[in-house]
Amino acid sequence: MKRDLIFAAVSAILLASAANAQQPERTLVEVWREGDYIVERYIVEDNKPHKAEYEIHFAINSSTPSDTFSDNTTELKALDALFNDMKDNKMMHLKSITVTGYASPDGTTPKNEALAKERAEHIATMIAERYNLKESNITISSNVEKWSATAPAIEDSKLDNRGAIVRMVSSNEAPMVVDNRLKREGEAWKYLTTDILPDMRRAVVSVTYTEDHITDKRVYSPEEIIIIEEVTEEKHHDKHHKDDNKGKHHKKHDRKRRHKMVDEWEGIIIDYGASEN
């Protein structure tokens, strides 16, 4: 029995500790009254991560970003808007920035690997300078796309031989072998170079942040009139009464009760005066 009680007590303590650990941190920022309620406003810490992604594209064989190339103007404006929001909104907190550089599969693997890495590095430098950040706090990685990544777009195309081209890009042959075979597929190669491969020459910027929120707590607390002083006094009279049995004089005592009432709110005390009974 005693062991069961100890186990139950320990379990209760552990559950309470776990519940407290899961409670988000709250900071009281404002208190005011609304009628019969006291309203407390808190900033509640929210650790749920939000992720935003932006794509910066590059010209073929280039690792230098251009604000006006492709849709870069729109993407950079959106990226600027996010960082401006984080600068102005103290409830938003930047957690991480990751830049991944990509290269399309056409060409030689060593060259593509170098291009992908350079694209990531150049975008990381641009972001650090643009938003006054430390480049060392930006994580970079790189990746060369595989030919198989072009298959979904080819399947959705209107190419007459799209089935054969899909099988070609999905094969296990070396990238340069596939590259050479595709270059002999006139219409298909043209479609790849104009509609598919350009989108693969890019860098993806991933920004992770959290955003706290405001919550109000309403506590019922009506205004009241409170008695804070009650005094009983003796009132003495000089009138004497003769006691036939004992021959003594007694003083008659009158009592009065004084009430002082206040209206107490926000530390202000108002004396409504005294009343007598």
Q: Which CATH number does the domain housing residue 81 bear?
A: 3.30.1330.60
In a domain, 146, yes or no: yes
pLDDT of residue 128: 97
Mean pLDDT of 23-36: 88
Last residue of a domain, one of 173, 206, 239: 206
pLDDT at 169 over 50: yes
pLDDT of residue 24: 77
Tokens linked to 193: 């170079």
Q: How far is C-alpha 110 from the geometric centre of its chain's CA atoms?
A: 41
In terms of Cα–Cα distance, which of 39, 85, 48 is closest to 210? 48
Whole-number Å distance between alpha carbons of 213 and 26: 10
pLDDT at 275 over 50: no
pLDDT of residue 258: 45
In a domain, 40, yes or no: no
**Domain that includes residue 124, residue range:** 51-206
pLDDT of residue 223: 75
Residues 249 and 198 in one domain: no
Residues 86 and 194 in one domain: yes
Task: Kindly report, residue by residue over 206-244, the tens digit of the pLDDT.
Answer: 999 999 999 999 999 887 655 555 555 555 555 554 455
pLDDT of residue 234: 56
pLDDT of residue 226: 54
DSSP category for residue 31: E
pLDDT of residue 228: 53
pLDDT of residue 266: 43
pLDDT of residue 173: 94
pLDDT band for 72, please (50, 70, 90 cuts). very high
Q: Which residues pair with 271 in a beta bridge?
A: 262
Tokens linked to 179: 């590259």
Instruction: Walk across the sheet containing 253-265 and list its strands.
Output: 225-236, 253-265, 268-271
**Strand segments (E) across 164-224:** 202-211, 213-220
Residues 61 and 193 in one domain: yes
Work out the angle at residue 232's Cα, subtended by the Cα atoms of residues 229 and 236, and round it to the nearest 5 degrees. 145
pTM: 0.69
pLDDT of residue 192: 97
Average per-residue pLDDT in the chain? Answer: 82
pLDDT of residue 1: 53
pLDDT at 16 over 80: no
Rg (CA), the chain: 40
Mean pLDDT of 66-81: 96
In a domain, 248, yes or no: yes
DSSP category for residue 105: S
Which of the two residues, 275 and 132, has the higher pLDDT score? 132
pLDDT of residue 137: 94
Q: Considering its fold, how many domains does the chain have in total?
A: 2
pLDDT of residue 4: 53
**Strand segments (E) across the chain:** 26-34, 37-44, 50-57, 92-103, 138-144, 202-211, 213-220, 225-236, 253-265, 268-271
Residues 185 and 118 in one domain: yes
Residues 188 and 239 in one domain: no
The amino acid occupying position 143 is N
In a domain, 8, yes or no: no
Residues 148 and 66 in one domain: yes
Within 13 Å, how many C-alpha atoms sit on residue 275's CB side? 6
pLDDT at 57 over 80: yes
pLDDT of residue 262: 44
Residues 157 and 246 in one domain: no
Residues 158 and 243 in one domain: no
The amino acid occupying position 131 is Y
pLDDT at 265 over 50: no
Residues 67 and 119 in one domain: yes
CB 210 within 8 Å of CB 90: no
Query: Which contacts of 6-10 are long-range, i.e. CB under 8 A and separated by 24 or more positions?
Result: none
Residues 253 and 131 in one domain: no
Residues 186 and 229 in one domain: no
Residues 151 and 257 in one domain: no
Task: Kindly report, residue by residue over 131-148, the tens digit of the pLDDT.
Answer: 999 999 999 999 999 999
